[in-house]
């Protein structure tokens, strides 16, 4: 029987407190171990831990058991419980799971078993496809946001000075009092005043930034250059 350490992870404290996801992972890991005659020597849990880094206490303990020869395989319910980073996954594969006589990586959901060459091939293919899917999703999202912005729709974040969000919550429309400040700033600048002098003149006229305080020269520069871009 293959000595196996199971690694479980949930990403939020709420999931850890309720335990539903952890209980489900534990049940699947134990059922898989029973089905494939694995000797489950340890079940290690990182509760409320992000997959953005491999620096997780229980994961490092599990990897340490592989290094020390205390376990021959690492079992996860799904690859994203181990890591969401293709770079980190590649690092783990190179360090532990690439050799046919080294420790094995077992995944319940993806049916991965790197004790065979076919299992190692499937792991590499799935990692590549997963990375492509994330990048493609990011590209589609960026394109959709750029299109919305080009149509004058509000895409979230800070509303530029001189504009406000329409009642429909989608479009940006000019804020006339702030647009008046912008026009005044442009006229003063066109008359030859320095950015600092424009800031002083606006403050003297009672025209203040949205959050109060005084204008900085860099704010005046951005105000003049970018105010028409919504």
Mean of all residue pLDDT scores within the chain: 85
Instruction: Tell me: pLDDT of 39 over 80.
Output: yes
Percent of the chain having pLDDT more than 70?
90
- pLDDT for res 201: 93
Nearest-CA neighbor of 134 among 56, 51, 77? 51
Instruction: Tell me: pLDDT of 21 over 80.
Output: yes
Q: pTM for the whole thing?
A: 0.57
Lowest mean pLDDT among 64-68, 125-129, 174-178, 204-208: 125-129
The string of pLDDT tens digits covering residues 133-157 is 777 777 887 787 777 677 666 666 7
| C-alpha to C-alpha distance for 151 and 118, rounded to whole angstroms | 49
- pLDDT for res 197: 94
The string of pLDDT tens digits covering residues 170-184 is 777 888 899 999 999
Three-state SS at 187: helix
Place of tokens 């969000």: 165
Instruction: Tell me: pLDDT of 113 over 90.
Output: yes
Name, of 48-52, 109-113, 170-174, the range with top average pLDDT: 109-113
Q: How confident is the model at residue 129 (pLDDT cuts 50, 70, 90)?
A: confident
Nearest-CA neighbor of 122 among 114, 130, 131? 114
Alpha helices in 93-159 (DSSP H): 117-150
Q: How confident is the model at residue 100 (pLDDT cuts 50, 70, 90)?
A: confident
Nearest-CA neighbor of 153 among 162, 139, 166? 166
Q: How far apart are the first and last CA of the chain?
A: 64
- pLDDT for res 15: 62
Q: How confident is the model at residue 20 (pLDDT cuts 50, 70, 90)?
A: low
Q: Please name each of the domains of the chain with its CATH number.
A: 2-135 (3.40.50.1390), 163-226 (no CATH)
- pLDDT for res 230: 40
């Amino acid at each position: 029987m293959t000595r196996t350490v199971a690694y479980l992870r949930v990403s939020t404290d709420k999931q850890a407190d309720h335990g539903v996801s952890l209980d489900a992972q534990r049940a699947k890991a134990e059922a898989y171990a029973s089905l494939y005659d694995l000797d489950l020597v340890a079940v290690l849990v990182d509760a409320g831990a992000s997959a953005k880094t491999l620096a997780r206490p229980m994961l490092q303990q599990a990897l340490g058991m592989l290094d020390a020869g205390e376990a021959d395989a690492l079992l996860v319910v799904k690859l994203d419980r181990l890591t969401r980073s293709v770079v980190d996954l590649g690092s783990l594969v190179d360090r532990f799971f690439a050799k046919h006589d080294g420790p094995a990586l077992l995944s319940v959901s993806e049916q991965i078993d790197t004790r065979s060459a076919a299992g190692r091939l499937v792991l590499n293919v799935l990692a590549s496809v997963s990375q492509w899917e994330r990048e493609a999703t990011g590209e589609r999202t960026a394109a959709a946001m750029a299109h919305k912005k080009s149509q004058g729709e509000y895409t979230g974040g800070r509303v530029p000075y001189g504009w406000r969000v329409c009642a429909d919550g989608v479009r940006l429309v000019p804020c006339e009092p702030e647009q008046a400040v912008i026009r005044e700033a442009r006229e003063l600048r066109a008359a030859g005043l320095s950015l600092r002098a424009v800031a002083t003149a606006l403050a003297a006229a009672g025209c203040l930034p949205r959050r109060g305080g005084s204008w900085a020269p860099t704010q005046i520069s951005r105000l003049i250059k970018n105010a028409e871009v919504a």
